[in-house]
Amino acid sequence: MGLNPLEHKGIPVEDQVRSWSDLNPQPYDKHAVDPYTRTRVILMNGIEVESILFSHQFARHTDDVDLKQKLALSRRIEAQQQKVVNGLNPGDQTPLETTIGYEQVAVDLTAWLARHEPNPYLHQALDFALLEDFDHLYRYANLYELLDGGNATELTEHLTEITPGRPTIVEHRHPSDDVRGHFETHTVDPLSRLHVMTIVAAEQQTMNFYMNHGTDWIEPIARGLYAEIALIEEQHVTHYESLLDPLDSWMKMLVFHELDEIYLYWSMLQQEQDSRIRSIWEEHLDMEIGQLHVACDLLRRYEGVEPEEIVPAELPDTPVTFEPNKDYVRSVLAEQIQLQADGLEFVPVDDLPKSHRYFAYQAKVNAGGAPSEQVIDANRDKSGREFRDETEGEHPVVDLRDPVSARR
Ligand SMILES: [Fe+2]
Ligand SMILES: [Fe+2]
Ligand SMILES: [Fe+2]
Ligand SMILES: [Fe+2]
């Protein structure tokens, strides 16, 4: 049985304010942490950031002081929660190591959501971007070896393979081809709504992280690679956010945000082995339930809608789970590597006419070469081979097999 959040009281929002020492938690040990604890921290930080940004946007679109004050209170709590979650990242984890964690989130979260997504179009949208983030992990792993002599598998612990996906250089699309059609709010499976909201927040956080950390390096190759991949993350936010029904009211969207946070903290709680971090997921779950009640009261008061009309009687009973998805990723690689986007649809790249805007856009951005290719060439020159971690055998796509290891 999934959780029925309306049956629980949670912690009243007025009682959720925490002190500075609570907001400055002991970080995890980067050498001892379970890779999927790192990914849970990255995901839940992105979820809190989305709650904060959404609430700010909502506040800018209402002239009701009482409503603004209610939003300000819940938003302050979300901002405190974000500090607690993000504060778990240790200071000796470099931005590039954190980046590899971000792409491990992207791969294993997207693959898991795709595997559990009932709507075929949403499923296809997840598969499509999965192959792109999978490729980012490989590019950054090569940058990590090139710049720091680092071994990315010490971060991923072989739970996620590292090898090319849809090559980043071909991911650059005309903006019109990143816009998708949206689900219908009255008919969508509640699970699908949660899936889309979750992946929007995760991709948005990745976009923000690369926007802000792309200049942490002196080396032009690193700065260039972050700029290039940050732009793909912007495409991914465009892609995923356009799946959401834009006709929901701000108030309903507020309720859906709290529901998604509840579902995700509950999910993280099911898997967390680190008892100290588990207690944070537990506490935040109770806090989110309290925040949901505030949102539901607002919905009732301002729109005359009973929360039961939009809140499902129970949340999905399967928790969003971080686990290896190697076979799944390999099957999508084998079947969908050649896909591109044409307007709202996905089509094999060979079906696009030569006059398609995709090729004109590609010619412009890739005119001087692409950092995502240069980083692999540079690491081959330095290390004598590129960095890969293919734990399940050779690459399922013949054209993407390693030219050096193939010659051995
Ligand atoms: Fe929150
Ligand atoms: Fe990515
Ligand atoms: Fe992405
Ligand atoms: Fe919340």
Mapped onto helix, strand or coil, the DSSP state of residue 310 is coil
Contacts 24+ apart (CB under 8 A), 344-351: 344/179, 344/180, 344/181, 346/124, 346/128, 349/170
Q: pLDDT tens across 23-54, in order? A: 999 999 999 999 999 999 999 999 999 999 99
Are 34 and 96 contacting, i.e. CB atoms less than 8 angstroms apart? no
C-alpha 384 to ligand 4 mean position (Å):
49
Q: pLDDT tens across 340-389, in order? A: 999 999 999 999 999 999 999 999 999 999 999 999 999 999 999 999 99
Are 348 and 110 contacting, i.e. CB atoms less than 8 angstroms apart? no
Locate 294 and state its tokens: 């505030």
| pLDDT > 90 in the chain, percent | 98
Backbone angles phi, psi at 163, to 5 degrees: -170, 165
Which ligand neighbours the alpha carbon of 44 most closely?
A: 1
Question: Is the pLDDT score of 292 beyond 70?
Answer: yes
C-alpha 44 to ligand 1 mean position (Å):
9
Are 261 and 252 contacting, i.e. CB atoms less than 8 angstroms apart? no
Question: Is the pLDDT score of 296 beyond 90?
Answer: yes
Cα–Cα separations (whole angstroms), residue 161 to 206, 327, 375, 391 = 20, 10, 19, 6
* Res 404: pLDDT: 78
C-alpha 200 to ligand 2 mean position (Å):
13
The continuous run of DSSP H or E covering 345 comes out as strand 345-348
Question: Is the pLDDT score of 304 beyond 60?
Answer: yes
pLDDT band at 301 (very low <50, low <70, confident <90, very high): very high
- pTM, two decimals, is 0.98
Which ligand neighbours the alpha carbon of 137 most closely?
A: 2
pLDDT band at 1 (very low <50, low <70, confident <90, very high): confident
Which ligand neighbours the alpha carbon of 288 most closely?
A: 4
Are 68 and 302 contacting, i.e. CB atoms less than 8 angstroms apart? no
Mapped onto helix, strand or coil, the DSSP state of residue 169 is helix
* Res 406: pLDDT: 61
CA dist., res. 187 & res. 76, Å (int): 33
* Res 403: pLDDT: 82
Q: pLDDT tens across 181-230, in order? A: 999 999 999 999 999 999 999 999 999 999 999 999 999 999 999 999 99
C-alpha 9 to ligand 1 mean position (Å):
16
C-alpha 27 to ligand 4 mean position (Å):
22
Count the Cβ atoms, other than its own, within 10 Å of residue 93. 19
CA dist., res. 127 & res. 330, Å (int): 11
Question: Is the pLDDT score of 2 beyond 90?
Answer: no
**How much is the mean pLDDT over the chain?**
97
Q: pLDDT tens across 167-189, in order? A: 999 999 999 999 999 999 999 99
CA dist., res. 232 & res. 243, Å (int): 17
pLDDT band at 407 (very low <50, low <70, confident <90, very high): low
Residue labelled with tokens 């008892």: 275
Q: pLDDT tens across 84-114, in order? A: 999 999 999 999 999 999 999 999 999 999 9
Question: Is the pLDDT score of 408 beyond 60?
Answer: no
Are 209 and 101 contacting, i.e. CB atoms less than 8 angstroms apart? no
Which ligand neighbours the alpha carbon of 78 most closely?
A: 1
Which ligand neighbours the alpha carbon of 283 most closely?
A: 1
pLDDT band at 328 (very low <50, low <70, confident <90, very high): very high
Task: Determine whether 75 is exposed, middle or buried from the number of CB atoms within 10 Å of its CB (0-12, 13-18, 19+).
Answer: buried
Which ligand neighbours the alpha carbon of 99 most closely?
A: 2
Which ligand neighbours the alpha carbon of 74 most closely?
A: 4
Mapped onto helix, strand or coil, the DSSP state of residue 249 is coil
Are 11 and 290 contacting, i.e. CB atoms less than 8 angstroms apart? yes
Task: Determine whether 129 is exposed, middle or buried from the number of CB atoms within 10 Å of its CB (0-12, 13-18, 19+).
Answer: buried
Would you kindly state where each structural domain of the chain is located, as residue ranges?
A: 5-407
Are 390 and 152 contacting, i.e. CB atoms less than 8 angstroms apart? no
Which ligand neighbours the alpha carbon of 85 most closely?
A: 1
C-alpha 231 to ligand 3 mean position (Å):
10
C-alpha 102 to ligand 3 mean position (Å):
9
Are 101 and 202 contacting, i.e. CB atoms less than 8 angstroms apart? no
- State which residues have CB under 5 angstroms from ligand 1, the bound ion: 48, 51, 78, 81, 261
CA dist., res. 42 & res. 107, Å (int): 13
Locate 96 and state its tokens: 């590039």
Please name the amino acid found at residue 90.
P
Which ligand neighbours the alpha carbon of 104 most closely?
A: 2
C-alpha 311 to ligand 1 mean position (Å):
18
C-alpha 258 to ligand 4 mean position (Å):
5
